[in-house]
Chains A and B, each alone.
Chain A
């Protein structure tokens, strides 16, 4: 169960935002009231919130390094002619 998804809040949502999200979630009825209540409880407790943050969010900035490269020349396209070797005799 991902309480952040249930309440549609971000990882750094404040307590106030969480409570507001609960109200909204109840109105939208995309999840059962039981799930919403549990999500609220989990996110309002510092320990369980930290647990869910660990489980449901990933940090991969250091794994995703943008490469830098010079752009090579594009080959001449006019040499890119359609071959007829595959044409069947109609």
Chain B
């Protein structure tokens, strides 16, 4: 093989190696070299393949570079890369990319021109360029700049229109210009709202804000005269009210508020009405009260979450004399209408309560209490004409500051109450204790205590009574369940008993009916505390009996010894000496004690002592026992005595003793007969 052929083979070998490794560029170079020496179809084929592959690589490389330029926002260079790539491959997708980029580049160029024009103060030109730029690309920044240029070019209406279509950025520049355009075109309120978001304290800007505010104030009464929409008047007057207090503005706020409310009512948009409702004054005129109650009724029709509000206003509203009188303009029965409205209010609460709304369930429970108290209050009021405006439910009174006036009414109508307790309890409902009292009415004793406000020592009589009453009722309930009472229970009992003695009787009866030790114990403890403060006859009797009951139970169950039992009975007697139960127990104890001492004396052969015990004891049982022992000893004389002399001595001694105890006892005759026989 020649040198030339050998060289060619080596080149070819290298070419194949590069080809197999996929390095088509090098392979092409080698194959082209080889083709100069060797003419072969196979080499030509390989060259063609290499050329195709390298074209692909070059194209991909250019596309990759083009995308990289795009990511860095260098549209121009990206376009150049794609154009080169297209020149190589004529790939249609690359053509599409090129078209897109060309358009984008036009937009960018246009925007650059626009910025240049704006910088030079040629705002109209700038606007045109921005229009061009925006034709091909959707860019919110350009729209914002166009809008600003419109303002600078004094095209305020167009600026307003554009700002309203786009989402303006939140830069101070955009916000200021947007606001400025609005102000210049007479939209002062809208301008001020936009400018609220500008964080700038420059004096010139502050002055300008003031100027716009002055325009707003001056313009609002023009709007009023020209029958502008109530919503607009309300929103603008509310804003003015926040910066300037003036009676006319306050009136305008209320005028426009209620004008808007009337419109919203027509649309049944109760939620929005609620959001613009004014703060409700303590002295609420009937029209406002009626309106508010209707509002909450309609809100509650759709949601039980307004149950408390409905309960607050509905009953009070329907018992207001003026509102009631306006229920009919014809001959309809006012009472029937009123009752039906009350029924509907209650039915609404029931509906939500049944659906599981806990707020509604609670208000439904309180409904009758509210109604009863309110109607009772109206019933006792002498001067119904003036008082008809005052009557309200307890919670309404407490919330709207009517409690004091109602207390005056209650005090002035004292004779209308059957008892002092009823008088005080009614007044107590119109104090902050009202909620706890409602819980008591519904037998929710734990909740009552939880909802009792902090004790106020300077509270009036009604408050004090209500507060103590809750503690009393809570304690009374706890005792029935065998639970302890609160520390204040005893004090509450004392006050309540003084006011209404029937409570003392009820509690005592309740205590004496207790059967199990679980309940007797707490009762005894409670009465111990009560007794310390208030030792009335009934309390003393009850306490004394409770001591006996408890002691007997413990003694019978071997949880108390005889000594302890005796001490308890003594204590009971010290509290109530006429406690028959204690007296009986004491007697039994004494009898037992005397008999025990009697037997002890006999066992120790202290017969004189035994006789003395029997003689001195007030209990016939002791004497009886003595004579039984003597009788037994009489029968045992034959066992004890050896002869008649000893028998004589023993019988004689016995006779002496028996005569000292009871000379008329029959045993004396037996002893005398026994002696006679000896």
Contact = CB atoms under 8 A, between A and B. Distances in A.
Contact of A47 (B224, B287, B326, B333): B333
Nearest to B262: A60
Interface in B516-538: none
Interface string A77-90: 10110110111101
Contacts of B171: 88
A59 B287 contact: yes
Given A75-B211, A86-B200, A60 B287 contact: yes
Interface string A20-49: 000000000000000000000000001110
B327 A50 contact: yes
Contacts of B340: 47-48, 51
Given A54-B341, A64-B259, A82 B172 contact: no
B254 A90 contact: no
B328 interface: yes
A66 to B, nearest CB: 5
A51 B255 contact: no
A81 B327 CA distance: 59
Contact of B291 (A56, A58, A69, A83): A58
Contacts of A54: 290, 294, 327, 337, 341
B669 interface: no
Nearest to B256: A64
Nearest to B172: A86
Interface in B485-530: none
Contacts of A86: 172-173, 176-177, 198, 200
Nearest to B246: A69
A80 B200 CA distance: 18
With a 10 A CB-CB cut-off, give which of A60, A62, A86 has the most chain B CB atoms: A86
Given A86-B172, A86-B177, A90-B115, A55 B294 contact: yes
Central interface residue in A66, A69, A80, A88, by most chain B CB within 10 Å = A69
B291 A75 contact: no
Interface residues of A, number: 37
B338 to A, nearest CB: 9
A64 B337 contact: no
A64 B202 contact: no
B258 A64 contact: yes
A59 B288 CA distance: 9
B151 interface: yes
Given A60-B291, A86-B200, A90-B119, A71 B337 contact: no
Given A72-B218, A90-B119, A63 B180 contact: no
Where chain A touches its partner, the secondary structure class is loop
A51 B184 CA distance: 52
A87 B218 contact: no
A50 B211 contact: no
Contact of B215 (A2, A63, A74): A74
Interface string B98-127: 000000000000000001001100000000
Nearest to A62: B287
B93 interface: no
A83 B97 CA distance: 44
A75 B151 CA distance: 21
Interface in B38-83: none
Interface in B231-263: 248, 251-252, 254-255, 258-259, 261-262
A16 B151 CA distance: 61
A47 B364 CA distance: 24
A82 B332 contact: no
Interface string B432-470: 000000000000000000000000000000000000000
Contacts of A88: 171, 173
Given A65-B255, A88-B173, A83 B204 contact: yes
B302 to A, nearest CB: 12
Interface in B184-230: 184, 198, 200, 202, 204-205, 208, 211-212, 214-215, 217-219, 221-222, 224
Nearest to B261: A60
B344 interface: yes
B214 A75 contact: yes
A74 B218 contact: yes
B221 A46 contact: no
A59 B254 contact: no
B288 to A, nearest CB: 6
B255 A46 contact: no
A2 B326 CA distance: 20
B333 A58 contact: no
B213 to A, nearest CB: 10
B19 to A, nearest CB: 58
Contact of B151 (A60, A69, A71, A82): A82
B205 A85 contact: yes
B180 A46 contact: no
A63 to B, nearest CB: 5
A61 B202 CA distance: 46
B138 interface: no
Nearest to B344: A51
Given A73-B218, A80-B183, A85-B205, A63 B332 contact: no
B298 interface: yes
Contacts of B259: 64
B164 interface: no
Contact of B248 (A46, A69, A74, A79): A69
A74 B219 contact: yes
Nearest to A59: B287
Task: Enumerate the 9 nearest inter-chain pairs by beta-carbon distance, A residue then B residue, closest first.
Answer: A67-B251, A64-B258, A69-B248, A86-B176, A86-B173, A90-B119, A50-B337, A46-B332, A74-B218
Given A59-B291, A60-B258, A77-B184, 13 more contacts: A47-B340, A48-B340, A54-B337, A55-B297, A58-B291, A58-B294, A59-B326, A64-B258, A74-B215, A80-B184, A82-B151, A83-B176, A86-B173
6 contacts: A51-B341, A63-B254, A66-B224, A67-B224, A73-B218, A90-B119
